[in-house]
Structure 1
Amino acid sequence: MIRLDSLTKVFDTPKGAVVAADHISMEVPAGEICILLGPSGCGKTTTLKMINRIVRPTSGKVFINGDDTTGMDTQTLRRNIGYVIQQIGLFPNMTIEENITVVPRLLGWDKARYRERARELMAMIALEPDAFLKRYPSELSGGQQQRIGVARALAADPPVMLMDEPFGAIDPINRAVIQDEFLKMQQALNKTIMFVSHDIDEAIKMGDRIAIFREGRLVQYDTPDDLLTAPKDAFVESFLGEDRALKRLNLVKVREIVSDEIGSVTPSDTLETALARIDDFGYSNAILMVNDKRQPAGIVSRSVARTTKGYCRDHFQSVPAAVHLDDDLRKVASLMFAHDITWLPCVDDDGRVCGQITQRAITSHLGSRYRARQAADATAAKE
């Protein structure tokens, strides 16, 4: 959907020519989010702004959906590209409805259509239309204004969106909420998005692909997992941080490594049965007790089962935590550390136990990419 062909920008300054973007070539497939990442002054924002011609390229081309935009009228180009900036840029003298519908009104939409579009978008960004549409930007919080900025960019249903640190000025709690809402919206909208960020964790969470810039050059362009697994050089490795292996926890869902081999007992089972099943499975010092709906109901420990007589229903502890199939491994690891346990039950949408996840499985999964990379490097070296 977006293709940059040797895109270059040279600024003339009193001290001479400064190359802000140096022959940037990359492609962003339709429906994907591409994050431009790098230190301040590396050229990521300049590259973004050349796409909608806020900054005019010195050389090179921008293609949108296969069309060379070089000869395209600037206003037409911009009306087909949604644009969201960190400072939001809402018009203070316009109501929220008027802000959202700026581009549809310029495009000649009739009143009923653009008003309906505004209400639809307000619902999408989780703000009540009747409560907010007639307000002015000054009456909203910073996080609410940022959501309106996103809605305005989406108003004319553009195929492409450009976002320049759109969540950077929002406090961490609201930022996480808005990021999650935006990703849910993206699943339905399927826009092609280029997104400037300075936050590595945001890039990993939001991006299908990440482009690392340095001093105006594109250093590496990869999926988050490939980037974290195989940084191209020392700069990328340093920029990603020494904990880049842990950052990969954000990328893997429980469903990818869940095991359906999980032992369990019912409240009516004896502690002798519980001890036998703990020994059968051999992965823990406890076993999960489930109710008649196969939902987690408690934990029976080995020490209790070995030294006590009776039934599980009378000798269990509460379940410390359970994880959903769509949770990421970062949440799983956090719960394991918090509760000092090495396994957790996994549940489906109805809360029924569908498997388990272990520390060993997490370690094995994360390490498999590195082992595969080492094997590939060794093979290449022999050849």
Structure 2
Amino acid sequence: MIKLENLTKVFESQGQATTAADNISMEVPEGEICVLLGPSGCGKTTTLKMINRIIPVTSGRVLINGEDTTGLDTITLRRNIGYVIQQIGLFPNMTIEENISIVPKLLGWNKKRYLARAEELLDMVALEPKAYMKRYPKELSGGQQQRVGVIRALAADPPLMLMDEPFGAIDPINREIIQDEFLRMQQTLKKTILFVSHDIDEAVKMADKIAIFNSGKLIQFDTPDNILAHPKNKFVEDFVGTDRTLKRLRLVKVRDVMVKSPPRVRMDDDLKVALKLMVERDHSAITLVNKKNHPIGSVYRSIAQTKQGLCGDHHYGLRTIVNINDDLRTVASKMFSHDTTWMPCVDDQGVFCGEITQRGVTHHLAATYNDNDGALAELYQEGV
């Protein structure tokens, strides 16, 4: 979708030349979010603004869908690129409806079409159209204004979006909510997005790719997981932080780590059945499920070895469960708060799908740092 080829910006001031962006080359595939990350003055915002020519290019090219944008009219170029800034930039003398509809109107959309688009977008960010269309920006909270700023950039359905620290000025609670809403929209819209941030946690959460800048140069361009696991140099290592392994917990879903189709028992199974399964798998406990295959408890090996009867008469309640779509950060939090090293995994219907263990999480994370990561993953899935 977008390709930067040796993009360079040199600022001249009083006879002094300063290179703000130095031969930046990278390619972002269609439908992906790329976060430009780095300290203040590193060149990330300059690079972003050269794409829509807010800052003129000194040398190099920007290609969108294979087309060199150098020869395009600046106004036409910008109308096909959504742009979101930290300061939001809503026009205070215009209603929310009018703010959202600016670019569609310039493109010649009829009133019925651009009003329908404004309503659709407000619905996407949980702002009731009837309640907000006729309001002015000053009548909205900061978080609500930021949502409008984001959807205004989407109004004309641009293939490419540029976002310059769009959530930086919002309080942490609203920032998390808006980030989640934006990611939910992105699953449907599949826009190609370049996103400037200075926050490594935000980048890990939002990005398909991360581009780390320093002193005008692109230092490392890779997936969040690879950057966290394999920082290219000391600068990147220091920038992502000493807790980079913990940051990786956000990137991995339960479904990718859990042991699938683990043994289970039912209420009317004999304890001998439970004991046999636990001995075969070297488990200290086994999950008890009901007729709907929902986990409802666990039977411990120590009980099965010393008691007789049915599993339904000798089980204990579960400390906690986890959804297969949760990330490993949720797993770690639940394990610590409930003092457990394993838990059953369920789907959205509550059906028992697998089990996740502390050892499994550790092996998965450690595998990335080892040459034999495939072997470790295979051993874990076999229960070794």
Q: Which category of TM-score, normalised to the shorter sequence, fits these structures?
A: over 0.9
State the distance in 2 between where 1:6 and 1:198 align. 23
Shift in Å, 1:158: 0.3
Task: Point out the more displaced range, 172-181 or 11-20.
Answer: 11-20
Structural mapping, 1:1-383, within 5 Å: 1-14=1-14, 16-283=16-283, 285-306=284-305, 310-372=309-371
Q: Structure 1 residues 260 and 373, CA, compared in 2 at 3 Å: closer, same or farther? A: closer
Cα shift at 1:276: 4.2
Question: Contact conserved, 2:367 with 2:373, CA < 8 A, in 1?
Answer: no
CA RMSD of aligned residues (A): 1.9
Helix, strand or coil: the match of 1:173? helix
Give the Cα–Cα distance (whole angstroms) in 2 for the partners of residues 176 and 275 of structure 1. 45
Deviation at 1:215, TM superposition (A): 0.6
Q: Secondary structure at 1:265's aligned position in 2?
A: strand
Tell me what 1:380 maps to: none
1:260: Cα distance to partner?
A: 2.1
Cα distance in 2 between the residues matched to 1:327 and 1:51: 36
Distance 1:172 1:318 in 2: 36
Distance 2:124 2:5 in 1: 35
Give the CA deviation at 1:47.
0.6
Q: Separation in 2 of the partners of 1:333 and 1:188?
A: 29
- The separation in 1 between residues aligned to 2:173 and 2:317, in whole angstroms, is 29
Percent identity reads 65
Are residues 100 and 310 of structure 1, via their aligned partners in 2, closer, same or farther at CA, if it must alter by over 3 Å? same
Bigger mean CA offset, 220-229 vs 153-162: 220-229
Distance 1:131 1:301 in 2: 55
Question: What is the CA distance between 1:274 and its match in structure 2?
Answer: 3.8
CA distance in 1, matches of 2:300, 2:372: 40
* Consecutive unaligned residues in structure 1, runs of 5 or more: 376-383
CA deviation vs aligned residue, 1:301-344 (integer Å, no higher than 9, x gap): 34444555554434433222222222111211221122121211
Deviates more, 1:257-266 or 1:336-345: 257-266
Structure 1 distance, partners of 2:373, 2:15, is 46
| SS across alignment from 2:320 | coil
User: Secondary structure of the equivalent of 1:371?
Assistant: coil
**CA shift for structure 1 position 268:** 2.9
Distance apart, 1:110 and its partner CA: 0.6
Output one character per residue of 1:63-84: Cα deviation in whole Å (capped at 9) or x when no partner: 1111111121111111000001
Question: Alignment partner of 2:260: what SS?
Answer: coil
Q: Letter of the aligned partner of 2:262 in structure 1? A: I
Q: 1:174 to 1:314 in 2, by over 3 A?
A: farther
Q: Which amino acid aligns with 2:16?
A: G
Structure 2, unmatched stretches of 5+, are 375-384
Aligned length: 374
Letter in 2 for 1:288: T
